[in-house]
Chain A
């Protein structure tokens, strides 16, 4: 059996985090989302995998090459939609196949449920169905799909994972897969709805924190770097090659730390934290429930809570991120969310900057320490 992983889309609702990589490459528990999808396929013995790439394709290809898994890569030149992406993969398809989004988590058990079916889709229950394709099911058969409705008729949503026969290509009239599925239903074909065992999506940047917490439950312990004898570790902790953890640092797992980092001395890392490669956490800094991507520096005496820091942020000392419930504009709606800070790539912050429920764009410089909330656009200089 073959599988097509769609990894061409940017995932624009996750901006500013998608500046240099698509959503499928964003790290949760220190692994790009697409890795979990590939693992789930391999566990099911599915080894003929085609990956459709597009947005920032060079980064995706480089990552795929590093996996040592035989993958075929096809390029979707313009990101017109999932159907168009599938069409790009058509020349590689020789029989029944699965289609999966490369930017959602799926477990092997879910794929086992669908892989032997012809014309089926995995569905899941979600509290905010309006962000997804809502599925109306009768007797296990899909009756109707409604894309991102204002008022959802049910809480059942499409996971975007399908099992198709090559027949699907003749129904692919538009650039979206759900349209093709609707056309199949209209033509009298039956599409079975199979409940997924475990499926998670991150739609907005703050959802990444929940996904990160979820995925950190599955990490294996392992310490590769240089860890001082006085370091206190509890729970599952992973530390990569070349990382140095200085004296009197406290790490309570689940925590995953990448390679070549420099942590401490006297730093505290609390549960549900992922730290990428080449990260520097200076002394007397406290981090909890956060994703700190590669090449970030956090100065001393900082307190980082519920934050996502994009690659290459340079933060001075006494930085605080304070989670507080706040209203965030998403599209033309307002949503109530609680998180500390979402920082894009290359953010530079002066000492004593406080972020409160703040989304900071890429390459923003904060010249003078102050309290910031709300949204700050890319490239802004905050005086």
Chain B
């Protein structure tokens, strides 16, 4: 769950590495470090965020180097535990993303043989192991060490006496960027976009030998060819521009994110897969789990297909009996739990489909087919536009199953999403930023929307929030209602309108303030609630989208009012690549 980056070429490596780490900061931001090959290996590490143009780091000399930004797994986040890690003599430096499961045992052996360890990390063992094997051929040394490692890794290794990087991956992501007489390596393609559009996605088990003018990839000891893919994301998309936060920028990109995903459509293989499924199981984590739940409600009621939604982290250990199509939903395509679940589905001969934002990511390699969402790079840790693009992809599947019944609603949905971005929700923000607890309630597809609203609220504003199916509130949580616990209720016309309205009255009777998200033109609801937020009166599918955007805005502005670090909430990282 860390980010790694490497560079070898003609430029000074340090600024390239630091710039790259900044783009990878979403993967972890406890501490960072870089190492370059000057006359010997030079290292700079620091606890905390990456500052702009850190003078200490930029001063490192050399045109080959590696860098790391950390989300602590083994050992607390401080300067000593920050990567890169070195061997005893400072001739080898390693950065690593993943977890070495047998590191304690390896460490004990190494210590017995006289190696001195400086940090508490699992990574340091790799440096010492390579030290033992290194005799001037870095590639051979890395190859000799890899069989000893159990667990997951993407590593980059440099040695003080050679202008090269040796890269290896197994179950952690690693991408190469190919420039003119320069080669880049990184955990994902965002750091590369500034320099090149040609990338190579490495496979598990690949080892790459990188020098400024040349890259060679080996698999199982034999040289292999991996295709160069062209990336159509542009570097501009990874800049914040004039927005105060990436999250706000990405919230405003949602109409486009939805529209582009719908317009990209679904290819024939996926279409057939969807049409043939008599049962669908979705596996997802976090925000993706909520989009999967929305799909369940909509698909079961609108096209009558049984849908099951499983959390990736549970599925792996408590696997349900599987039948029919299995869909893995993951923005990054690297979510460890989702990947494990997908592998199990494959092992049981289920047709598998991956819905992801990352071309070339691990899930796309495992699943039979991929449906790519067109959100573009999402940098903010809290998912917004990728949530929207996931819903677009899932609604498109729904639309296929219903013979295009929702064509019209989906092709105009981006306008309604754009419309709610114009709303002024200051009253609701004032209310939520003064309290410690907020409840979110909804029924049907708006229940997962409420859960997602609560997730956004807690992850970026740190206000305790819970999402409930409106009817469940009375079975316990009602005891917590006070005048200081606002309830956000989503209540739109439909079969549940009446019962939602009476739920709201019950909440009001406990003197809890109610913020209602309803449709414009509703005359009854504004009378009974404290704050009414109107969304356009559109198709149910579109209401799900617009209500979600309102809750995102509420969480965002509440977090801003409370001065939270919106793009880098504490303790979190964007893609959870460890179990």
Contact = CB atoms under 8 A, between A and B. Distances in A.
Interface in B26-54: none
Interface string B252-265: 11000001000100
Contacts of A59: 252
A59 B415 CA distance: 14
A34 to B, nearest CB: 14
Contacts of A64: 241-242
A61 B236 contact: no
Given A68-B236, A260-B263, A61 B243 contact: yes
Interface in A96-134: none
Contact of A61 (B242, B412, B414): B242
Interface residues of A, number: 22
Nearest to B241: A65
A260 B248 CA distance: 27
Nearest to A68: B236
B239 interface: yes
A62 B241 contact: yes
A295 B422 contact: no
B415 A295 contact: yes
Most chain-B CB neighbours within 10 Å: which of A57, A61, A68?
A: A61
B415 A58 contact: no
A57 B242 CA distance: 9
Nearest to A74: B242
Most chain-B CB neighbours within 10 Å: which of A57, A73, A295?
A: A295
A311 interface: yes
Interface string B279-316: 00000000000000000000000000000000000000
Contacts of A165: none
A65 B242 contact: yes
Interface in A230-262: 260
A18 B421 CA distance: 15
A273 B553 CA distance: 37
Nearest to B239: A65
A62 B419 CA distance: 16
Interface in A22-44: none
A195 interface: no
B418 A58 contact: no
A260 B260 CA distance: 11
Given A19-B422, A58-B421, A61-B243, A66 B236 contact: yes
Interface in B222-271: 236, 239, 241-243, 248-249, 252-253, 259, 263
A383 to B, nearest CB: 15
Given A58-B243, A61-B243, A64-B241, A312 B415 contact: yes
Contacts of A311: 415
A308 B415 CA distance: 18
A75 B236 CA distance: 21
A19 B241 CA distance: 23
Given A62-B252, A65-B236, A73-B242, A312 B412 contact: yes
Interface in B434-483: none
Interface string A51-64: 00100111101101
A226 interface: no
Nearest to A280: B411
A66 B243 CA distance: 13
Contacts of B242: 53, 57, 61, 64-65, 73, 75
Contacts of A75: 242
A58 B422 CA distance: 10
A61 B415 contact: no
A175 interface: no
B549 to A, nearest CB: 13
Given A20-B418, A73-B242, A295-B415, A62 B263 contact: no
Interface string A294-306: 0100000000000
Interface of B: 236, 239, 241-243, 248-249, 252-253, 259, 263, 412, 414-415, 418-419, 421-422
18 contacts: A20-B419, A53-B242, A58-B252, A61-B241, A61-B243, A62-B249, A62-B252, A62-B253, A65-B239, A65-B242, A66-B236, A73-B242, A295-B412, A295-B415, A312-B412, A312-B415, A314-B412, A346-B415
The 10 closest A-B pairs by CB, nearest first: A73-B242, A65-B241, A61-B242, A312-B415, A58-B252, A61-B241, A295-B415, A20-B422, A61-B243, A62-B252
Interface of A: 19-20, 53, 56-59, 61-62, 64-66, 68, 73, 75, 260, 278, 295, 311-312, 314, 346
Given A53-B242, A314-B412, 12 more contacts: A19-B422, A20-B419, A20-B422, A56-B422, A62-B241, A62-B252, A64-B241, A64-B242, A65-B242, A295-B414, A346-B415, A346-B419
